[in-house]
Every structure is written in C-alpha cells, then in structure tokens.
Amino acid sequence: MNRETDKLADPVFAERYRAMSARDARFDGQFITGVHSTGIYCRPSCPAVAPKPGNVTFYLTAAAAHEAGLRACKRCLPDAVPGSPEWNTRDDLAARAMRLIADGTVERDGVPGLAKRLGYTPRHLGRVLASELGAGPLALARAHRAQTARLLLAGTDLSITDVAFAAGFTSVRQFNETMADIYRTTPGAIRASAKSRTASRPGGPAAGHADGHADHRAGTDTAPGAATMSLRLPARAPFDGAAVLGFLGARSISGVETGGADGYARALSLPHGPAVVRLAVGGTATAPFVECDATLADVADLAPLVARVRRLLDLDADAAAIDDALSADPALAASVAAAPGRRVPGAVDAEEIVFRALIGQQISVPAARTALTRLTDALGHPIDLGGFTRLFPTAADIAEHGREVLRGPAKRIDTIVDTAAAIASGELVIDVGESREELESRLTALPGIGPWTAGYIAMRVLGSPDILLTSDLAIRQGAARLGLPDEARALASYGSRWAPWRSYAGMHLWRSSQA
C-alpha cells in the first residue's frame, strides 16, 4: 500500500494514472501503460480493467516497455495510435534522435551514422537515450521497425519476406525473432488475427481498413517493381485537416503537386527512389485519420514516407491542449472555436522548404508558385509516376544552374544559389535532426537570410511549435482584423502570452487575414 501511495504522490504518475483510469484517448501515444502483473503494455484508453498503481509503470516509448520485458496488448494495439507530440515540442538530443530514427536513419546509416549526424559519440547517445527514454537507439529503431511490420501484416497482402524488408529488417530471421520477442507471437499469427478482427466487424472486410492499417495492391500506373499502398494514418483529435491540405494545395507546384481542401497529392524523393503520395481527410471528429495512397519505387521507403507525411500534416500535435491554451485569449477564442485542431504544415523534403522560403519571401503566393514552377520545369528531375512529371530540384542542381533560371534582384539570386551550394557541399545541413537554435543560427549566418526566413524554415522542417513570424504581412493583417497589434515588435510582445504554441496562434492569424 505504501508503494502505491508513494507512486501516486508523484504528480506526473498521478496525472497519467488518472488519464489511464478515465480511458482518455487524448493521451494515446503520449505515454504507454506498462502492467507488470500481466506482462503487457497498453495505450491509456485500453478498455481493460484499470490495474492497481503498484503494478503500473508509465513509459514514453514502446521500446522502453519492450526493454522492461513487456509485450504489446492484443486488445488495444498500443502501436496503432498517433505518435507522441513530444518529439516536436521538445528540441533536445532525445527528441532530435527520435525524429531521425522515425525517418529511418538507423536503417540507412546505423547507430554510428545517427550519432555522427547528431554530433555525439554512439556511447554518449546511447547513455542519453537510455536515461531519458528507457531504451537505446538500437532498441528504439527495432521498436519502430516492428510497428511498421505489424501495420503491414495487419493490412496488406505483402508476403512475409516482403514485409520484413519493407519494415527495415536485414533478414527474415531477424524479423521473426523481433516479432516474437515484442509481440510474443509469429508474423503469420498477427496477420491471421487481423483478418479475424476485420471479418468480425460490422460491414465485413471494408471495416477492417482501420487506424494504421494498410492495403497493398499492384498499381495500374506504377513502374516495374513499384508498389502502391493505401494507408490510414490516425490523427490526434481535433484535426482541421481541410485547412492544412488547403494550405499545401494553394502553394502547389505544377508537375510536382496538386490539391486543395479536399485532397493533396505530390511527387517526392525518398531514400530508395521517387514516390507519389495522395492524401485525403477521413474519419470522425473524435477519431480522424488521413487516407494516404502511396506509390513507392521501393517498399523499403514505407516507414520514412509515413514519418514524413505525419510531419507534413502535423498529425501528432496535442491539438486539444493547444486549443485550450489559445482559446484562453479572448482575441483568439472565436477563431479556435470556428476551426479547432489547426495544424502547422510541415515538410516531406526539408531542403525544398529552404528554397520555397527564399523564393517566396516578400512576394505573393501566386507569384511564388510561378517562380517555383519555372525553377522545377527547368531543373527538376523528370519522372513518370502516378501522373506526376517532376521532382523538386536538388540543391546541387540549383547551385549549378540556378542563375540561368531564377529571376529577380541579383542579391536574392545570390542568396538562393549560395545557400544551395552550402547545402550541396554539406556545409549547411537541413533536416529533422537539427535543433531550432542551431538551424536558425546557421541560416542567419548566410548573407541574405533574415529572421523571417530562418523562422519559417524551422517551423516547417522541425515542426517547432513556438515561432511567431511577426514580420509576415499576412500575420500582421490577421492580427489587425482581430484587434491585436499589427506592428511587429508590439505583436511579438503581445504574442508572448501564447507560448509555447505561438506557431499555432500564427496559423489562426493567417486564417483571419483570409477571412
């Protein structure tokens, strides 16, 4: 009894235990409930009888639960939920590592490559992750591979061998051993159980296309060896999906992207080749998801694709907490009520965002689209996949040929080409492994890049939640419409009350400017 009292005296434990006892789905993915009396771990909303506090340990990651000897609950499927918003709201080493692990860095470069990218030794990185997240980088990557594999087993007709390599395992033996260790069952049994659940649901097989599940089929317009997947990616409610898709569609580049509030599609480059992704919002207000049809040159790119789409649409944001905080300001309350669950658009190609920002600063959205389309037509790599004809140009292509294509003031062209050269040479690194402070510092050190551009890039690439672009004309116009200060310094001062969610407040100001 003393042990339980001691645990409940910890305010973090007590808060999580209350959320678990209430089966509050808002906390799914934010932490994991380990139940040592049964040897399983669950999502907070698991319908099972609430365990006693003394039998419970809360973990931030599935990998930590695996390291503690627990297996995933077969009833609530704790890995089929939105991801933790912590990896965006935090900007420390652990969060940066988690962002890179989700993008497949360990599968491509190993733990030494991950550590080098983060600027630490593998030993130090392992100590930090084990201390803060309960598992080292290999265990975290293994858990991520297992979750991807379960998704494929549960919802596709890929062979067991194809699932193993698509999830990032190096051999079928390694795959089988990992799945047995984590789920205490075989890949075949996971697939059979998923089919049984699907058949038992009202509506039959169609109803089985559930959160996190996928459907695999041969695409009629895919290249030889390519595969087309249909996924449902769960979003954390509330989710204003139409707004984020509309934002992306309004800025779409001909040949690379198309879309609007009803859907968005684009071509992109992944580690093993080009891909095309088509996105649409589905589900209900309390259980939203995004329909994601993806055509991949190599199924091994599935995990990086899912991670990048989730970041693009900000699916893991703690929308309820953000809305509660922003609606406390009477100036934003009506906007939050009218558009709950606003998201900050992210990126599927970090370097692309740099050139979008550099080319789009101080000009209108239509003018930026025209300039970006011209650049892509001239320098983008040609493809013929899913109806798309171009990939966005690489930094190396822009560095070499940008002056032949770009129009505008000479200083701006110099900035764009010089930045492209810095990226192409490796002098400037733009990806999710950066911290906000480091990224903005490196950007503003380059001639011609100011705080707006650096802040916009950090917001889109890193998902930084607390950036208010007070020099942005549309944001200042939106602020004026809401009766807020429209001068940059005054707006920055007023906006400090929105911390740590100033990026989301900015999306509401943008919305107001378009009203």
Q: What is the pLDDT of residues 217-237, one digit of tens each?
A: 433 344 445 688 888 899 999
Q: Which residues contact 304 (CB under 8 A, 6 or more apart)?
A: 103, 104, 270, 271
Which two structure tokens, joined as six digits, stand for 241?
A: 């999906």
Biggest alpha carbon distance in the chain?
Answer: 75
Mean pLDDT estimate for the chain: 90
CATH match of 86-192 with 3.30.930.10: no
Which pLDDT score is estimated for 112?
97
CATH for 350-465?
1.10.340.30
Rounded Cα–Cα distance for residues 83 and 412 (Å): 39
User: Could you tell me if 352 and 461 are in contact, meaning their C-beta atoms sit under 8 angstroms apart?
Assistant: no
Which pLDDT score is estimated for 47?
92
Name the fold adopted by 211-316: TATA-Binding Protein (3.30.310)
Which pLDDT score is estimated for 162?
86
Place 86 in a pLDDT band, splitting at 50, 70 and 90.
confident
What's the pLDDT tens digit per position in 427-455?
999 999 999 999 999 999 999 999 999 99
Place 126 in a pLDDT band, splitting at 50, 70 and 90.
very high
- Of 3-12, 124-133, 159-168, 334-343, the one with minimum mean pLDDT is 3-12
Which pLDDT score is estimated for 3?
65
* H/E element, 63: helix 62-67
Residue 212, pLDDT above cutoff 70? no
Q: Which residues contact 434 (CB under 8 A, 6 or more apart)?
A: 96, 461, 462
Residue 216, pLDDT above cutoff 70? no
Which pLDDT score is estimated for 198?
61
Question: Regarding predicted confidence, which is higher, 401 or 260?
Answer: 401
Which pLDDT score is estimated for 232?
87
Share of the chain above pLDDT 90, in %: 76
Rounded Cα–Cα distance for residues 272 and 149 (Å): 18
Q: What is the mean pLDDT of residues 20-25?
A: 91
Q: How far is residue 481 CA from its own chain's centroid?
A: 32
What is the number of residues in the chain?
Answer: 515
> Could you tell me the residue ranges of all domains in the chain?
2-62, 86-192, 211-316, 350-465
Query: Rounded to the nearest 5°, which phi and psi values hold at 227?
Result: -135, 150
Which pLDDT score is estimated for 79?
80
Query: Rounded to the nearest 5°, which phi and psi values hold at 503?
Result: -60, -40
Which two structure tokens, joined as six digits, stand for 455?
A: 């802040």
Q: How far is residue 127 CA from its own chain's centroid?
A: 25
Q: What is the mean pLDDT of residues 257-269?
A: 93
Rounded Cα–Cα distance for residues 97 and 28 (Å): 21
Give the right CATH number for 2-62 from 3.20.20.70, 2.40.128.120, 3.40.10.10, 3.50.50.60.
3.40.10.10
User: Could you tell me if 470 and 288 are in contact, meaning their C-beta atoms sit under 8 angstroms apart?
Assistant: no
Which amino acid belongs to residue 35?
V
Place 84 in a pLDDT band, splitting at 50, 70 and 90.
confident
Which pLDDT score is estimated for 331?
97
Q: Are strands 71-72 and 40-42 parallel, antiparallel or unpaired?
A: parallel
Percent of the chain as helix, strand, coil, to the nearest 5: 55, 15, 35
Question: How many other CB atoms are found less than 10 A from the CB of residue 446?
Answer: 16
Query: Rounded to the nearest 5°, which phi and psi values hold at 449?
Result: -110, 120
Catalytic residues: 42, 472
Question: Regarding predicted confidence, which is higher, 303 or 352?
Answer: 352
Q: Of the candidates 91, 138, 89, 92, which has an alpha carbon nearest to the alpha carbon of residue 114?
A: 138
Q: Of the candidates 271, 257, 273, 269, which has an alpha carbon nearest to the alpha carbon of residue 225?
A: 273
Q: What is the mean pLDDT of residues 137-157?
A: 88
Q: How distant, in Å, are the alpha carbons of 39, 43, 233 from that of 23?
A: 19, 9, 21
Which pLDDT score is estimated for 4?
67
Q: How distant, in Å, are the alpha carbons of 170, 336, 506 from that of 509?
A: 48, 11, 5
Most confident of the ranges 89-98, 209-218, 413-422: 413-422
Residue 298, pLDDT above cutoff 70? yes
Which pLDDT score is estimated for 222?
44
- Of 5-19, 333-347, 490-504, the one with minimum mean pLDDT is 5-19
Rounded Cα–Cα distance for residues 421 and 434 (Å): 19
Question: Regarding predicted confidence, which is higher, 515 or 321?
Answer: 321
Which pLDDT score is estimated for 200?
58
